Structure 1
Amino acid sequence: MKKSIIMLLFSALLLFLIPMHTQAATNQTKIILDGQELILPNDVEVVNVRNNIMIPIRVVAENLKFNVNWDQKTQNVNIQQGSNAVSLTVGKDQANVQNNTVSLSIAPQMIKNTVVVPIRFVSEEMGLRVGWNNKAKIVTLTSNNTSIPSPPSSGNGNEATTNLIHDINFTNNQLVVSLESEVTPVISTLKNPERIIVDFPSTNFGNMGQVPPGGSMGRLDTSDFPGVTEVRYSLFKNDPAQVRIVVELNNVSSVNYTQETISGKFILDVSMVNQPAPATPVSSGKKIVVIDPGHGGSDPGTISFTKKPEKIFALALGLKVQALLEKEPDIELIMTRETDIYPTRSERVKLANDLKADVFVSIHGNSVTAAPQVSGTETYYYQREDSKELATIIHKNLIKALGFKDRGVKNGNYQVIRETTMSAVLLEIGFLSNKSEEEAMMSETNLNKAAQAIVDGIKEYLKL
């Protein structure tokens, strides 16, 4: 998983660290914008980060006539076109779009002095149609022309007609769309975060007061509905026209919906079951420890030398730590996951913070596929002295137990240790990209040793 590997022999020459799991899709990647190939500066490429296709945002934005400003100190990119504004920060998986906070599938990255962002963000938040040809390594981007098409001519009657939307509202957990004529939308759902996607084919915006300007999105006020993060809409395609409405949900465990069209109004009735609030441990006086096996579910993490996903190792070790900590009478243990599911990083942080945990430990396996000889254990904390103390103690125990190369205790800017409010560490047990180290890490003997070392470190830090 780690973005912090110091590449052997070359570290003194690099201005920025190349993230561990970022690999150039190819040296011949291309970006085609509105039929024209963009000229990419030297070393600027389309990249694949943990199966997320990411593209250089400055090149795309400037070719769309956006003003792009980069703040080196804050690592912030601000993109402006008239009243449309987008703000992104390297390493943060949330962006600001038109003064609204939106979640990204993966945080922007700095690679070879260039900020890259997930292609889905470009599609959803900049109003572009996107395509990725994996075989040819070509990204295609098509900007939308949001002008309302002229009414169909009254010729032979075979011309395609375009339906019009005159109003969009969200109230009482119902999406209500006023249509010029009845149309059956295509409805789909996406996860992480939970979203309901409603696509209206052969449909454009009509005489409505809140038509989003070219290439951008409109948003509805959903502040009165805690189960809904936002409702956004845009002209998703132009030829033929297609309006897309996205209902993004907040902290729900399940969602159901029904649909009907009454008197020219399409109604989507959303029924949500909220996530249960984390229960506060009832054992008085116990120390609360959160163990976080990294990745899981749709997020495999890095891939090992033998092509196994990191999430398998993280869970295997996490469950062994769980088994040991559950025997400790003075510790209340909480797991962020016990099966192959994917809690988002924000959900892991919220769980630990809501519980007012004393300790948070995130378990990972490291990787640098370009240098499979790299090996060793490294441990991360974020700025706080209490986290540094916890990291130092657990790291000492891991090195003693496993005998891997000591790569040190380091300050790392990772969300799960940055945004948690308790003593928090992220453990990189060893390098899954190293053949012999992967074999050692996955052995039952060393899994048991690593688990005991983590537990001993936690107990030593908590003075138990």
Structure 2
Amino acid sequence: MKLWSTVATLLMIALLLPSLAFGATSPPTAKIVLDGKTLTTEVDPLNVDGNVLVPIRQIFEKLGAKVTWDQSKQTATIVRDSMKIQLTVGDRKPVVNGSRAEQLEVAPMNVKGNVLVPVRFVGQKIGYDFKWVQETSTVQIFPKSGQGSGAGTPPTTPTPTPTPNPGQVSDKVLVKTIQLTKDQLLVGTDKKSPQANVFKLTSPDRIVIDLPGTELDASLAGKLVNNVGEVPSLHPMVEKVRFSNFNNDPATVRITLDMKANADLTISAAAGQANLLVGVLKAPEPGKTKYKVVIDAGHGGTDSGAVSLTNKKEKDFVLAVANKVAKLLEKEPNIQTYMTRSTDTFVTLKGRSEFANNLDADLFLSIHANKATPTAGGTETFYYERADSKAFANVVQKHLLEATGFKNRGVKEGDLHVVRETKMPAALAEVGFLSNAQEEALMYTSAFQDKVAASFVAAIKEYLKIS
């Protein structure tokens, strides 16, 4: 199947399919099956007034498109080759290549940070047909005739994965052994081991090792229970070792060390043995750890950011807080603080992320303020995809809520440049809403800014395990 022929079609279905009338009086959930496989999405598809709405990011990205989200405009943009589609929450008229398309029956919605659009907008122009299965509340999406295997016939059950021939050559690396001795982590593979991606998680403390391009061999796969297996730990700093086939596309084996104590892990191929990874755990040396933390005050210079009800500027609020954070961090001997801007200057998004990456920083925190309707309010924190960034965002949100006392809008995944393009754990905090009279009044007081700055410092110290 040619992916972009499918994506091009996803964009105009609203006019070409009859209504999917299900007679619902409330928005029940549905599920989606694409090419015989049930799609897993962060939020369930919905049936609204007889129209099924689906999460746009998961569907388009499955088809190779790039999806970005503009928080201030509440607009999702989908780009692939020469095609550009913009869908705005609450607006029934999408923009396709700069021109307004015909009106959708139901406007896109934002549900828990995910944009949902009518399924009729994701159909025939991409070479797909639909079938609604009332009994299971399922929308089946399948290729039209000539678009690939199984084309033209809606599947009734997922196609089973074929069993490979015994002599079939696989490009995946098989993980054959996982062992944690009192000194080392040993991971044996059937061919040259891949480079491991290692990161830490907190609450509770874990070290995670992802091995891209790998899967468990039969002996280890046979130990999985609900896709999780365990091997005993003989290491004094590790409670237990867990492993799983974490991802299928790309294939990834994940090994997780449940820690008893804070430690760092270095892992690489053994000398002269390309099919053996050796990991060594070591406790940080007291007084010698110097973490590099980047504090990013959003906007600046010609970019004012959001403007409040009384014409105050977001750039001024976030700079005041960022400078207070930097001043507090100066008192921390184990932290070296860097700022993307400390004055009212303009820095590009690319400049911010490159600054942090070139420093090889350990942590990145971007500070912002929100704007929407006068009734909207609350505190939220964003991250992008990586588990370490999500863990940091959770800690930031916890402390920030204690400082603001505002409504908890949650921790959300957002396709925002500074958290997407930075290579270290990164979070973007939206402290409160400048469009909310009560929140704005507090946000421009020095006492409130002091509390917010202290909460950010507490979050940074907790994540880095600095007492």
* TM interval, short-chain normalised: 0.3 to 0.5
TM-score, normalised to structure 2's length?
A: 0.43
TM-score, normalised to structure 1's length?
A: 0.43
